[in-house]
Amino acid sequence: MKNNTLTIIKKEFARFFGDKRMVFTTILMPGLMVYIMYTLMGNIMTNQFTSADNYVASGYVQNMPAELEPVLNELPVEWNDITSDEIDTIQTSLTEKEADLLVIFPENFVAELNSYDVSSGMAAPNVEIYHNSAKPESSDVNVMLTALLESYEASLSNRFDINAGQNDYDTASDQDMTGQLFAMLLPMLLMTFLFSSCISVAPESIAGEKERGTIATLLVTPMKRSSLALGKIISLSCIAMLSGLSSFIGTMLSLPSLMGSTSGLDTSYYTMKDYLLLLGVILSTVLVLVSLISIISAFAKSIKEASSTCSPLTILTIVVSLVPMMGGDMLKNLGMFFLPILNSVLCMNSIFSFQMEVTQVIVTIGMNLVYAGAMTFGLTRIFNSEKAMFSK
């Protein structure tokens, strides 16, 4: 049985790795495309929503108070004094993204501010700031000016401060932020990549051989059907694993560009133990997915039929991958780690968020092996069925 299983594995490896085009499109291209696509997306979003470092905004101001002029001149803005007759023209320039900011102060602004009584019920002096949020430079300088004026307002009647000391009041560490981000994104991406990898190789190996008629040759050879099923699943799992890891590596390399340079991502927080446990979860998950898709492919009459039948599982996998984002205490419920697919998602989430317990990983890998073994046995029974294997 062992020799027959190894023979099937070698046959599948020779078929796959002997085709350089298939190796490139299945293993190398997914990771390369993911890296290029996510990096481009990150660069485009960065350029789209952030202004250049040395950019000087064009600002127009009416009735600028002399008391605020030194402070406003500290902003990266070239201020131009205007009259009331020019306001409409400047607003049109803002709409057309030719100007960045228009600020209109009331006449005698500082005097009105000093004499204003909150208890009077009268409207407070109002500063009008016009900007164009569709232009990053305009939006950025608007935020800076608004913060400056709010700080100035607070300084006039400062009754108490909030977090005025030198302490770091946010108790979340960079490690917590990295774990939160990775736990939110990577389980879904990983499951999607793994499922896509499995569906790209399994139907070709089983439904493809049925379609070409070569499966009959294997079935008449003096080998146990269990050896055939086990050889198929092990070899396909290895190939799917390589493809999934390619996409995962591409994602990890492109994440800093995708999330922006200020996101604080740092993978050094994850230890070799975390990576090894994650590898174990991924391997056992691939076995489950390949076994499931292999069973579906064994009933299909063609690659097209197998792929179309497996397509709804893609949506199901994505939906299950989103479950941890819904909140709750699922990671504390060990019973959830007995459910296929969901256990892998939760286990990945716990590893990435630094909440992993070894018991969860052991249960997940153990149950995945049980499910894969059960489906391998089911595939053996299908191979023994002439009706399933030779139906037209």
Question: Residue 80 — φ and ψ, nearest 5°?
Answer: -130, 125
Residue 262 has a pLDDT of 47
Burial per residue of 331-340, b for 16 or more beta-carbon CB atoms within 10 angstroms, e otherwise: beeeebbeeb
CA 273 to chain centre: 23
Residues 6 or more apart from 84 whose CB is under 8 A from it?
Answer: 62
Residue 365 has a pLDDT of 93
Average pLDDT over residues 92-98: 89
Residue 138 has a pLDDT of 84
* Spatial CA neighbour of 136 closest among 76, 221, 183: 76
Chain segment 346-369, per-residue pLDDT in tens: 998 898 888 888 899 999 999 999
Q: Kindly report the average pLDDT of the chain as a whole number.
A: 81
Q: What is the pTM of this model?
A: 0.69
Residue 97 has a pLDDT of 87
In the predicted structure, residue 343 carries a pLDDT above the cut 70: yes
User: What percentage of the chain has pLDDT greater than the value 70?
Assistant: 86
Chain segment 114-162, per-residue pLDDT in tens: 787 777 778 778 889 899 888 888 888 888 888 888 887 777 665 555 5
Chain segment 210-259, per-residue pLDDT in tens: 888 777 777 777 778 888 888 888 888 888 888 878 877 877 777 666 66
Torsion sign across C-alpha atoms 95, 99, 100, 104: negative
User: Crossing angle of helices 303-321/342-352, nearest 10°?
Assistant: 50
Torsion sign across C-alpha atoms 279, 282, 288, 292: negative
Looking at 93-97, 325-329, 376-380, which range is the least confident one? 325-329
Residue 149 has a pLDDT of 83
Per the structure block, which two tokens stand in for 141? 């300088």
User: What percentage of the chain has pLDDT greater than the value 90?
Assistant: 11
CA 6 to chain centre: 38
Average pLDDT over residues 16-39: 80
How far apart (Å, rounded) are the C-alpha atoms in residues 21 and 133? 47
In the predicted structure, residue 261 carries a pLDDT above the cut 50: no
Chain segment 140-153, per-residue pLDDT in tens: 888 888 888 888 77
Burial per residue of 70-105, b for 16 or more beta-carbon CB atoms within 10 angstroms, e otherwise: eebeebbbebeebeeeebeebeebbeeeebbbbbbb
* Spatial CA neighbour of 190 closest among 283, 112, 307: 283
In the predicted structure, residue 176 carries a pLDDT above the cut 50: yes
Q: How many CA atoms lie within 13 A of 76 on its CB side?
A: 15
Residue 52 has a pLDDT of 55
Task: Give the CATH number of domain 57-156; options: 3.10.310, 1.10.8, 3.40.190, 1.10.287.
Answer: 3.40.190
Residue 388 has a pLDDT of 65
In the predicted structure, residue 83 carries a pLDDT above the cut 70: yes
Q: How confident is the model at residue 374 (pLDDT cuts 50, 70, 90)?
A: very high
Any idea where the domains of the chain sit in the sequence?
Answer: 2-45+174-390, 57-156
